[in-house]
């Protein structure tokens, strides 16, 4: 079966369903997106791995696994999302030690959190992408949908609601001064609220450009 490489597009959260997050993967050479519902802890772990400049005061579970693997010279080579059953994605972690390759089953959210820490590629099979991938396009197929329309699509996927969903809104950090933002960033990291820390860091990065 043909493998398709995926990149991480981002993480969306739902305001209408508490604790619901969607990890959005996109095919490397195509237009389709693969949304995967994940838990809050895994969402934070992935967010902190994506935001390289935020360092937790204590290692997260996936950081601990990475430290453990490094100590015993285990390398994660790649992650493959290999099965989809009743809306649940199943993944394998392909690792190597002393030239011997091992395959370990894992939850997809955990597998991707580890792939990020090992800089390992993420793949899925074409058949899975054909079944679960979505085109975030307008009916004309010429013009991409707006960010707001994309968020509504993701919201419906998170809630399973066919009705018009509430727009996903994140806090606006542009109203704060740089000093306030840096104080808020330190506080968010101290409280281990890494999703908030990543959002604040994004605003700081915009101002530094």
Got the DSSP string for 83-129? EEETTEEEEEEEEEETTEEEEEEEEHHHHHHHHHHHT--EEEEHHHH
pLDDT of 64-97, one tens digit each?
Answer: 999 999 999 999 999 999 999 888 899 999 999 9
Higher pLDDT pick, 169 / 134: 134
Structure-token pair, residue 134: 């979505």
What does the pLDDT read at residue 82? 95
pLDDT of 14-34, one tens digit each?
Answer: 655 556 788 999 999 888 889
User: CA quadruple 11, 6, 30, 38: dihedral positive or negative?
Assistant: negative
40-50 helix and 61-71 helix, angle to the nearest 10 degrees: 60
pLDDT of 1-15, one tens digit each?
Answer: 689 999 998 888 765
Give the predicted TM-score (pTM) of the model. 0.69
């Amino acid at each position: 079966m043909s493998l398709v490489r995926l990149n991480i597009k981002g993480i969306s959260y739902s305001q209408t369903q508490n604790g619901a997050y969607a990890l959005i993967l996109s095919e490397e050479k195509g237009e389709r997106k693969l949304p995967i519902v994940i838990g809050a802890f895994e969402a934070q772990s992935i967010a902190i791995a994506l935001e390289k400049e935020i360092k937790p005061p204590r290692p997260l579970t996936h950081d601990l696994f990475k430290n453990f693997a490094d100590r015993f010279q285990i390398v994660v080579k790649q992650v493959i999302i290999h099965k989809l059953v009743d809306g649940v994605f199943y993944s394998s972690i392909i690792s190597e030690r002393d030239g011997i390759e091992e395959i370990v089953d894992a939850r997809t959210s955990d597998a991707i959190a580890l792939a990020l820490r090992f800089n390992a590629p993420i793949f899925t099979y074409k058949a899975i992408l054909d079944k679960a991938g979505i085109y975030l396009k307008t009916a004309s197929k010429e013009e991409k949908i707006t960010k707001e329309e994309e968020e509504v699509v993701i919201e419906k996927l998170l809630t399973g609601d066919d009705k018009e969903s509430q727009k996903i809104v994140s806090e606006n950090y542009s109203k704060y001064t740089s000093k306030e933002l840096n104080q808020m960033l330190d506080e968010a990291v101290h409280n281990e609220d890494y999703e908030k820390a990543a959002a604040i860091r994004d605003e700081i990065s915009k101002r530094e450009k």
